[in-house]
Structure 1
Amino acid sequence: MNNIQYILIFDSGVGGLYIYKKVSEKLPNYNYLYFFDNVFFPYSEKSEGFIVFNTLRIIRSIMKSYLLSLIIIACNTVSTIMLSLLRFLIDIPIVGVVPSVKLAVSLTSNGIIGLIATKNTVSCLYIRKLVKRFANQCKFYLLGSTELVHIAQNKMYGLDISFDKIVFILRFFTEMLKLPDVIVLGCTHYSFLLSEFGEIFGSKIKLIDSSLVFVDHVCSIIKNNSYFCSYLYPFNKVLCLKIDSSLLNVFTLLKKYGFLELEQLYF
């Protein structure tokens, strides 16, 4: 391991590329590592025990080869399940994206709020505590969908997606007698479906992209801390668990984001 610092962006899939893009546009002179789990994706229906074990072994393996200055958990599922545990066990600054419930409460007029996230995220204790703390006076409706994650990822790969299928999934909200006036997107993959969501929900429903709120927070941390080293010629790399022929679409996508090197992570 050398003394070159890297900022790690960790996600179960490629949805976190949205966060990487927004952060690196504002802070281009830093080295970024982007990890996606192409063996166990998606995490949305994995057990909490598996997610804790798998995330820890991946991050510790990366730390053996790279000097990390910051770990960005760009996966709502991982953040809501184990962000506190990661901060306790790993002596590196760690930030994680979580659904922007507090912001939603400040924006609602009718007191009805929706959250779209993965099944693990909407069912976890962290979300229940968040809703109880900030949205106790509101009616809060949760929709957990793994299928939307796959649809968003396929769209990123440039594959055809079914708009009708998205409409069918979101009927959970659209068929309500009284609609929410604010809906929180609680998965980084959903940022890539903003145009579809906007078309379905219309202008009367505010969509909160939790990823954008999170990006501003991350950038302020890096800018305001002299510990982080910037580089004249930064180097970015993608890590995954398995490199094979199935990554053809991924290679094409990664090149669009400026990544030219993909490395397999070994335990």
Structure 2
Amino acid sequence: MTSPNSQPIGVFDSGVGGLSVLRALRAELPHERFVYLADSAHAPYGERGDAYVGARTHAITRHLLEQHGIKALVVACNTATAAAIHEVRSRYPALPLVGLEPAIKPALAVTQTGRVGVIGTRGTLTSAKFGKLLAGLQGQAEFVVQPCDGLAHAIERSVDRPVPASPQGTETWDLCERYIEAMGAFGTAAGEMDTLVLGCTHYIFAERDLRTLVGPAVRFIETGEPVARQTRRLLEGAGLLAAPQEQPAAPDLQLYTTGGLPQLQAAARRWLDVPADGCHTVAITSETTETTETTQHSL
């Protein structure tokens, strides 16, 4: 009988942005197995309603439990966390569960000017969960909050294209430039934002664009490493950490997408150094538990 400790950890996002969290998880937990699911066919979550995002979150959680026997779940999506994680906790109380929220608390520890920029999807930044988080920190710093409509989707669409020599002129650059300019001055002088919270897992993959726009002195805060450490703490508390000798012969990483396979393959190669044959397609409906999976390889 397979030990529960050797079962995989499920990780999902609305697209390939959650690979930034998966990268941190694999570094923190090198003996664990992972199943990653990108719900790219239904992205972007950040521009959809809570009911829609909640239905997708429940369907994917159910799929990962039933088809892959996951021992823990990381919701590597700020929007899905805000919209549905409380319901997932209620439905699966025994499942170790880690969600994401924009890392504005860690930003407080590093800002020197007291002005912090926060970028994220509209779904995340207008959620009750984020509003409560922000309200609890009022008076400790000034937060400049900027929804970035379309940015996650633009990053998603760019992953299977060659990396341009210069970021200027791309769709991702144009959106980054628009939103960063709307926020005001970045820098280390009084009244400037010296810290930028990347409140969407996709945004770290636009780091070059954002860095060019805000300058070298601004500190970026993202959630991959804190989430990885919290996942370790939960697994330790539940006695579910995998030891090296508990690893079965099964692959230590499986990647699935509900959208286009070339996109996931390109992202996996670029950001995880994972070969194309580790990527698969899957269809998951929100209405039933029926799912289908197919394995495809590069053409």
User: TM > 0.5 between the two?
Assistant: yes
Indicate whether 1:127 and 2:147 are aligned.
Answer: no
The alpha-carbon deviation at position 182 of structure 1 amounts to 1.8
The alpha-carbon deviation at position 60 of structure 1 amounts to 1.0
Cα distance per residue 1:201-255 (max 9 Å; x no partner):
113432212223323322344456532334154512123335xxx4323223335
* Distance in 2 of aligned mates of 1:193 and 1:262: 25
Is the contact between residue 75 and residue 98 of structure 2 (CA under 8 Å) also seen in structure 1?
Answer: yes
Superposition TM-score, scaled by structure 1 size: 0.87
The alpha-carbon deviation at position 25 of structure 1 amounts to 2.8
SS at match of 1:34: strand
* Distance in 2 of aligned mates of 1:137 and 1:224: 32
The alpha-carbon deviation at position 101 of structure 1 amounts to 1.4
Partner amino acid, structure 2, of 1:119 = R
Matched residue, 2:52: 50
Indicate whether 1:248 and 2:262 are aligned.
Answer: yes
* Distance in 2 of aligned mates of 1:136 and 1:56: 36
Matched residue, 1:40: 42
* Distance in 2 of aligned mates of 1:109 and 1:42: 34
Matched residue, 1:147: 150
Aligned length: 264
SS at match of 1:72: strand
- Aligned pairs for 1:1-267 (under 5 A) are 5-90=7-92, 91-159=94-162, 161-162=170-171, 163-174=173-184, 178-222=191-235, 226-230=239-243, 231=247, 233-235=249-251, 236-241=253-258, 246-255=260-269, 257=272, 258=274, 260-266=278-284, 267=290
What 5-or-longer segments of structure 1 have no aligned partner? none
Is the contact between residue 98 and residue 231 of structure 2 (CA under 8 Å) also seen in structure 1?
Answer: yes
Is the contact between residue 71 and residue 95 of structure 1 (CA under 8 Å) also seen in structure 2?
Answer: yes
* Distance in 2 of aligned mates of 1:136 and 1:124: 20
Partner amino acid, structure 1, of 2:177 = V
Superposition TM-score, scaled by structure 2 size: 0.79
* Distance in 2 of aligned mates of 1:153 and 1:214: 22
* Distance in 2 of aligned mates of 1:110 and 1:45: 32
Q: Please, what is the CA RMSD of the aligned residues?
A: 2.6
Is the contact between residue 112 and residue 180 of structure 1 (CA under 8 Å) also seen in structure 2?
Answer: yes
**Could you say if the C-alpha distance between residues 85 and 252 of structure 1 is closer, same or farther in structure 2, counting changes exceeding 3 Å?**
same
SS at match of 2:42: coil
The alpha-carbon deviation at position 107 of structure 1 amounts to 2.2
The alpha-carbon deviation at position 169 of structure 1 amounts to 2.5
**Could you say if the C-alpha distance between residues 61 and 249 of structure 1 is closer, same or farther in structure 2, counting changes exceeding 3 Å?**
closer
Matched residue, 2:294: none
Partner amino acid, structure 2, of 1:218 = T
Is the contact between residue 62 and residue 265 of structure 1 (CA under 8 Å) also seen in structure 2?
Answer: no
Q: Percent identity?
A: 22
* Distance in 1 of aligned mates of 2:105 and 2:33: 32
* Distance in 2 of aligned mates of 1:234 and 1:113: 44
SS at match of 1:29: coil
**Could you say if the C-alpha distance between residues 102 and 192 of structure 1 is closer, same or farther in structure 2, counting changes exceeding 3 Å?**
same
